[in-house]
Structure 1
Amino acid sequence: MAAIFPVPICRKVPLSFLLFIAMVTTATVWSVRSGFLWTGICLVAVTAPLAALYWWMLHVNPSKTRIIIDDGDLLVDAPPFLKANQPMTSISRAFVANMNDEDEFRDMKKEQCMAFFGYKNGIFKTASNKDAIVVARSNKVLCLETPERWFLLGPKDLDGLIQAVGQVIPVKNA
């Protein structure tokens, strides 16, 4: 049976975004009521499409992000940036670490990703110029090394993921 680990963004990000939208709505209503009709129209014309795009980016895509352990395979599904499949037998080592404490992961270069407020989702380059697939809610992650790339995984239930991976390969805890 497959073990599924969702990786939603922390609640404070969409809530902060909704607060911002409420502020813009208040400014729009004030503009229209105060006689600044065109200011209100411009606020709506600019803010509505951007708000829809950012809502999709900050809430919808992260809510679909998940890590799946199934039949000895690791599947990382993180729309829109990546979908990766890796046999667990090709993982050479697994350990738990804080990305800020590891020289290899501290200053990763962004390739195809989004990263803010501790949430990271996408492909990065490590210090040794190796690809790293990062899907994490915080800096504490399960690090899985393969010959081709790293997987840095930090779902909401990190302990559950460590236990699921530990049933297939040994995991060194920090």
Structure 2
Amino acid sequence: MATTYKVPMHRVILALFLIAVTAIAATVAWSFNSGLTWTGICLIAVAGPLSIFYWYMLYITPKRAAITVAEEGILLAAPPFASAVIPWASVEKTFEANLKTDEAFKIIKAKKHMSFGGYKSGVVLIKDDKEAVIVSNRPDVLCFQTADRVYLLGPSDFEGFKEAVEKTAP
């Protein structure tokens, strides 16, 4: 039986983003004393598209991120930055790690990566130029080491994820 774990952005980050957009829009509207027409044009031309883009990047993209634990292995789907299938046969070692305190997992270089407000998703290089795939919204992660790369996964329900891996992994 497969179990799916979500990796959304924290709600506080989304709320702060909406407050910032509202404050910027109010400042723009207040600063333009030239009339409602020009203020509306500026808000529609600049603030609207930027808000939609950032809302997509901060809400929609992380909301689609999911880690599925199945009998065959782990299915990782965090488009557009990371996607992978990790068969249990390819996993050499599984252990817990902390992205903030473990020096071995400090990001040296990002290949395709998004990191904002605690949410991390993508492919990076870590110590000793090892390639790592990170999908997490927390500092503590479960590390899956394979021959070619390391997978650092930390969904919202971390304890449930660990239990599912312990039950399912051979």
Normalised to the residue count of structure 1, the TM-score between the two structures is 0.89
Q: Distance in 2 between matches of 1:89 and 1:40?
A: 58
Residue identity over aligned pairs, in percent, reads 36
Letter aligned with residue 27 of structure 1: T
| Counterpart secondary structure, 2:38 | helix
User: For 1:82-109, what per-residue CA distance to the aligned partner results, in whole angstroms no more than 9, with x for missing partners?
Assistant: 2100101211111111112222212332
Q: Shift in Å at residue 161 of structure 1?
A: 1.0
Q: Distance in 2 between matches of 1:156 and 1:39?
A: 41
Aligned partner of 1:155 in structure 2 is 155
Letter aligned with residue 167 of structure 1: K
Aligned partner of 1:50 in structure 2 is 50
Letter aligned with residue 64 of structure 2: K
Aligned partner of 1:98 in structure 2 is 98
> For structure 1, which segment, 20-29 or 104-113, has the greater mean C-alpha deviation from structure 2 after superposition?
20-29
Aligned partner of 1:134 in structure 2 is 134
Aligned partner of 1:12 in structure 2 is 12
| Counterpart secondary structure, 2:127 | coil
1:61 aligns with 2:71: no
Aligned partner of 2:88 in structure 1 is 88
**2:91–2:144: 8 Å Cα contact kept in structure 1?**
yes
Q: Distance in 2 between matches of 1:30 and 1:101?
A: 45
> For structure 1, which segment, 54-63 or 44-53, has the greater mean C-alpha deviation from structure 2 after superposition?
44-53
Change (3 A) 1:95 1:138: same
Q: Shift in Å at residue 7 of structure 1?
A: 0.2
Contiguous gaps of at least 5 residues in structure 2: none
**1:7–1:136: 8 Å Cα contact kept in structure 2?**
yes
Normalised to the residue count of structure 2, the TM-score between the two structures is 0.91
Aligned-residue RMSD, C-alpha: 1.7
Q: Distance in 1 between matches of 2:38 and 2:17?
A: 24
Aligned partner of 2:34 in structure 1 is 35
Aligned partner of 2:79 in structure 1 is 79
Matched residues, number: 169
Letter aligned with residue 53 of structure 2: L
